[in-house]
Amino acid sequence: MSIHSGLRRADRENSMALWTDLATWRGPTVNSGDGDRNGNEATDRMVEHRGIVLHIAEGYFEGTIAWQKNPSARVSSHFVIAKDGRIAQMVDTDIRSWAQRSGNPTWLSVENEGFVPGALTAQQIEANARLLVRANQIYDIPLQIATSPSGRGLGHHSMGAENGVNWGHPQCPGPAIIAQKPDIVARALELAGEDSATPVPVPERPRHRWIIDD
């Protein structure tokens, strides 16, 4: 169950898949859904939301955004977080990003600016915690650590390889960031407690805009 008691299921079903109060919309990218640019088809959509997967970008903020919009890259994430805590959204959270192979239909994804073996900055920890809280409010993703693709909560990219699942990139995001997962969850629990007395406003759902217009 969601910690936030003020957000009813009907509200979640009509809630915002572009989180513009937390993130700047920097999409669309053709590297999402089924990749055919034909719109909101069943093959584009997430089949469930099990949690959020932490990635390390092996790059810089703007470069990661540009790369994800390049059709040749064949990669994307729902969000990109800069070292200073800025959040960009690349893919609608109801649509599959291309971040962790067989995990794409069931997990949201966050690329964090930086390079292995680096750790997240304090601002990135805060930004990830805020995304986790919103995922809890909208999709009932629990505010807890996940250690395998069969779990739910805050995961990390290499947990696929660690459990024999084809998620790719067994070195991502690296031990330093994996060790920070408890900090992100702890901060998310704090934020959820602060927000629990006030219902989350749910804006009117925007039109889907992840398809590139040629």
Structure tokens at 41: 């088809």
Q: How confident is the model at residue 47 (pLDDT cuts 50, 70, 90)?
A: very high
d(CA 64, CA 56): 10
Nearest in space to 110 (alpha carbons), one of 36, 15, 22: 22
CB within 8 Å of 133: residues ≥ 6 apart: 143, 188, 191, 192, 195
Whole-prediction pTM: 0.85
Q: What is the mean pLDDT of the chain?
A: 87
Surface-to-core class of residue 198, CB atoms within 10 Å of its CB (0-12 exposed, 13-18 middle, 19+ buried): exposed
Q: Which residue type does 128 have?
A: N
How many Å from the N-terminal Cα to the C-terminal Cα in the chain? Answer: 42
H/E stretch holding 65: helix 61-68
Is 60 exceeded by the pLDDT of residue 211? no
pLDDT of residue 96: 97
Q: How confident is the model at residue 196 (pLDDT cuts 50, 70, 90)?
A: low
Helix, strand or coil for residue 103?
helix
Q: What is the mean pLDDT of residues 171-195?
A: 96
Selected residue with higher pLDDT from 198 and 188: 188
Sheet holding 24-25, edge to edge: 24-25, 87-89, 79-81, 107-112, 51-56, 153-156
Q: How confident is the model at residue 166 (pLDDT cuts 50, 70, 90)?
A: very high
* CATH number among 3.40.80.10, 2.120.10.30, 3.40.50.450, 3.20.20.120, domain 9-195: 3.40.80.10
pLDDT of residue 1: 41
Q: Alpha carbon of 24 to those of 62, 129, 133, 190: distances in Å?
A: 12, 17, 17, 24
d(CA 89, CA 203): 17
Q: What percent of the chain has pLDDT over 70?
A: 83
Task: Tell me if the bond preceding 203 is cis, omega within 30° of 0.
Answer: no
Is 80 exceeded by the pLDDT of residue 16? no
Domain ranges of the chain: 9-195
pLDDT of residue 39: 65
Write down the residue that tokens 């064949």 correspond to: 74
d(CA 95, CA 32): 7
